[in-house]
Amino acid sequence: MLELRNVSYTVTDNGKKEILKNINLTIDDRFVVITGPNGSGKSTLAKIIAGIITPTSGQILLDGVDITEMSITERAKAGISFAFQQPVRFKGITVKDLINLAAGRKLNFTEACNYLSEVGLCARDYINREVNASLSGGELKRIEIAMILARGTKLSLFDEPEAGIDLWSFNSLIRVFEAMHESIKGNILIISHQERILEIADKIVLLKDGEISQIGTKDEIMPQILGTSGVCPQIKE
């Protein structure tokens, strides 16, 4: 269970700007989806949870333990995994290296193959590939998700997992999340704009201008998001 208490984040680069204001949120459901317009602070919130950004004020607790002062490494060890919106490329580091690092041990071929096939990649073709510019954005994105599977931590955080997932279907992505919950029994927190991901959420958090504007089930939130997004109907279609 993850708890955010009065988390705020302000930047003072070009005049003071509040990115997040008094976020109070408890995540103890299977799938929680954070959604909201661009610039509402979703990715910042994910980075605060992973320890990449330090909040200006507030407290973060994981299973009742205060992790606010913990580094990225300590939080990773405490059980937080984070799939980046834009996965990182590494010259010379292979898919196998990353999956092994994620798992925290040397996996055998079958084990690595299991994680990669979950995300629709054939281990034989990918295991020794370098995670460099030769991989497409969609391939990197799937490897990023496979790493989260290999980690198997109690909290898994995905920042827009659907972005750039090329030929691989949404259904497969959703099946991965479901299988992941089956095997790990942890909490899965997804940042997404995608209606089909919102549909599997047990809880939807709507973020607007750095504040939580609503929290509720998909039946409560979905009609409002889809009905009052302020986008002209032509674009929506």
Partner 1 sequence: MAMKLDKIQLNLLEQVADLHEVPAGAYNIRTNGTSAGRSTTANIDIVSKEDKDGIDIIIKPGTKKESIHIPVLLSESGIEEMVYNDFHIGDDADVVIVAGCGIHNGGDLASKHDGVHSFFIGKNAKVKYVEKHYGYGDGKGEKIMNPVTVIEMGENSYFEMETAQIRGVDSTNRKTIAKLADGATLIVGEKLLTHGTQQAITEFEIDLYGEKSSAHVVSRSVAQDDSYQEFISRVYGNNECNGHTECDAIVMNNAKVTAIPEIKANHTEASLIHEAAIGKIAGEQLIKLMTLGLTEKEAEEHIISGFLK
Contact region with partner 1 (CB under 8 A), list: 18-26, 71-79, 110-118, 120-128: 71-79
Q: Rule CB under 8 A: say whether 71 interacts with partner 1.
A: yes
> Cα–Cα distance between 161 and 33 in angstroms, integer?
11
Smallest distance, partner 1 to C-beta of residue 100, A: 10
Binding mask 142-161 for partner 1 (x = CB under 8 A): -----x---x----------
Q: Rule CB under 8 A: say whether 128 interacts with partner 1.
A: no
Closest Cα to residue 137, out of 160, 163, 98, 155?
A: 163
Q: Rule CB under 8 A: say whether 236 interacts with partner 1.
A: no
Q: How many residues bind partner 1 (CB under 8 A)?
A: 25
CB 76 within 8 A of CB 192: no
> Cα–Cα distance between 20 and 208 in angstroms, integer?
9
Closest Cα to residue 149, out of 116, 193, 122, 120?
A: 116
Task: Name the E strands within the chain.
Answer: 2-11, 17-27, 31-35, 57-62, 65-66, 80-83, 155-159, 187-191, 203-208, 211-216
Binding mask 166-185 for partner 1 (x = CB under 8 A): --------------------
Interacting residues with partner 1 between 75 and 114 (CB under 8 A): 76-77, 80-82, 84, 87-88, 90-94, 97-98, 101-102, 104
Exposure on the CB side of residue 231, measured as CA atoms within 13 A: 12
| Cα dihedral 71, 82, 3, 6 sign | positive
| Residue from 11, 65, 72, 179 binding partner 1 (CB under 8 A) | 72
In the complex with partner 1, the residue whose CB is nearer, 17 or 77, is 77
What is the binding site for partner 1 (CB under 8 A)? 50, 52, 71-73, 76-77, 80-82, 84, 87-88, 90-94, 97-98, 101-102, 104, 147, 151
